[in-house]
């Protein structure tokens, strides 16, 4: 299947890799980011937008829908505290910024997307293994908290959007990715980071689901890549 996917945070890192991967599979891609994207392709349209600016985001989605019906949306845009400070030393303004972009932005992206999917579609959130209780990590309070919130948001929207035929899922990497979040690591550690296109295969699967095929699921990228039984359960819609 190919169609039209809207990707936030498309200018770099995971978002840029996703846009490139979907284009190679014949999809039409609308990218959204505060920065310009270095993607030159006839099926790619880029719009600079703040995903927490609801009126402007609505305008961008309306333009995307007029271009072609929206089949899938990937809420990927996110930030972190790159200084990885402990909570007691974290400026409140930094906490607010991370939560606003990662949670408010994800909410507005998904809600706006759903309003442009009258015939169903697929919404996915890019989260993190740090979203889960057993993976709590010191010095990353705002990022961990924000991604946990997005995981719960995914489950609630999955329940609410069943009547509309919209599948809502999340996808998370199980390894550190060369996404720009790890500039604090030394050169040797950065050389071990995974490529930003590591989510592409699972994201293409989630973007191509038929209505009601699979919803409310957190997809583990590493298990998708390495475990055929896990992948088969997802393909059969048996994993919850």
Q: Catalytic residue numbers?
A: 128, 143, 147
The count of residues in the chain is 240
Gyration radius of the chain's alpha carbons: 17
Contact residues for 138 (Cβ-Cβ < 8 A; gap 6+): 86
Q: What angle do CA 194, 25, 9 make, to 5 degrees?
A: 55
Contact residues for 166 (Cβ-Cβ < 8 A; gap 6+): 114, 117, 120, 121, 122, 123, 211, 215
Round to whole Å and give the CA distance between 125 and 123.
Answer: 7
Angle between helices 13-24 and 200-207 (to 10 degrees): 60
Q: Would you give the DSSP letter of residue 195?
A: P
Round to whole Å and give the CA distance between 218 and 45.
Answer: 28
Angle between helices 105-114 and 54-67 (to 10 degrees): 40
């Amino acid at each position: 299947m190919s169609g039209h996917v809207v990707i936030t945070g498309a200018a770099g890192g995971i978002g840029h890799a996703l846009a490139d991967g979907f284009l190679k599979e014949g999809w039409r891609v609308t990218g959204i980011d505060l920065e310009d994207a270095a993607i030159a392709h006839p099926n790619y349209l880029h719009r600079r937008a703040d995903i927490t600016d609801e009126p402007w985001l609505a305008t961008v989605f309306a333009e995307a829908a007029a271009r072609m019906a929206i089949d899938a949306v990937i809420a990927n845009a996110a930030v972190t505290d790159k200084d990885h400070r402990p909570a007691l030393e974290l400026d409140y303004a930094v906490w607010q910024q991370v939560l606003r972009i990662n949670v408010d932005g994800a909410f507005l992206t998904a809600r706006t997307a759903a309003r442009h999917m009258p015939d169903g579609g697929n919404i996915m959130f890019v989260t993190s293994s740090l979203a889960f209780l057993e993976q709590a990590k010191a010095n990353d309070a705002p990022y961990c908290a924000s991604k946990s919130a997005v995981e719960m948001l995914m489950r609630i929207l999955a329940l609410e959007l069943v009547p509309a035929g919209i599948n809502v899922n999340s996808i998370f990497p199980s390894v550190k990715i060369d996404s720009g979040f790890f500039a604090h690591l030394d050169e040797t550690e950065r050389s071990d980071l995974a490529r930003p296109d590591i989510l592409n295969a699972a994201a293409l699967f989630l973007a191509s689901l038929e209505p009601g095929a699979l919803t409310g699921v957190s997809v583990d990228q590493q298990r998708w890549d390495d475990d055929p039984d896990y992948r088969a359960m997802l393909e059969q819609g048996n994993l919850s």
